[in-house]
A = this chain, B = another copy of it.
Amino acid sequence: MDKFDSKILRLLIQNARITGADIARKINLSLPAVTERLRKLGRSGIIDSYTIRVNREKLSLHLMAFINIWIDHTKNTNVKDQITAIDEVLECHHVAGDYDLLLKVLVSDTAALENLLVNKIKAIKGITRTSTTIILRSYKEEINSKAF
């Protein structure tokens, strides 16, 4: 991971569909050199995968929320597997704190949120309590760290 690799990663984060030739031009390296570096970055696992960002508003997914979950650990059910299988759950983190799991969920509206909570999340055995925080607005939502 030298300076060139960092630059390549930054360019890819801005637009993963950029061509190798374009990268070569921008960082002043020959195309074969860039191709080789891309292969290495892929093989080394630094590049996890290529994806797109979809506009959630345009897909009518307007409501995002965080849900804290308390788990009764005496009931040894695998809550996390059931949680992560839910489509609306974007993230599921095990945290060190008052509660056990923190979810980020994305739904179309409050009705869908209610349905998610009542029929999907609270239906899972072992969950003793939940607490939901609605997101009013997201000022920043990065996929990747720029800190490299």
Contact = CB atoms under 8 A, between A and B. Distances in A.
A87 B146 CA distance: 6
Contact of A135 (B13, B49, B95, B137): B95
Contacts of A80: 139
Interface in A109-138: 133-138
Given A102-B133, A136-B95, A138-B94, A54 B59 contact: no
A93 to B, nearest CB: 5
A80 to B, nearest CB: 5
The 7 closest A-B pairs by CB, nearest first: A48-B53, A16-B50, A92-B140, A84-B140, A17-B50, A97-B133, A92-B139
A33 interface: no
A9 interface: yes
A92 B137 CA distance: 9
Interface of A: 1, 9, 12-18, 44-56, 58-59, 61, 64, 66, 80, 83-84, 87-97, 102, 106-107, 133-148
A20 to B, nearest CB: 10
Contacts of A49: 14-15, 52-53
Contacts of A92: 138-141
A107 B80 CA distance: 25
Given A133-B102, A139-B92, A145-B61, A50 B52 contact: yes
B93 A138 contact: yes
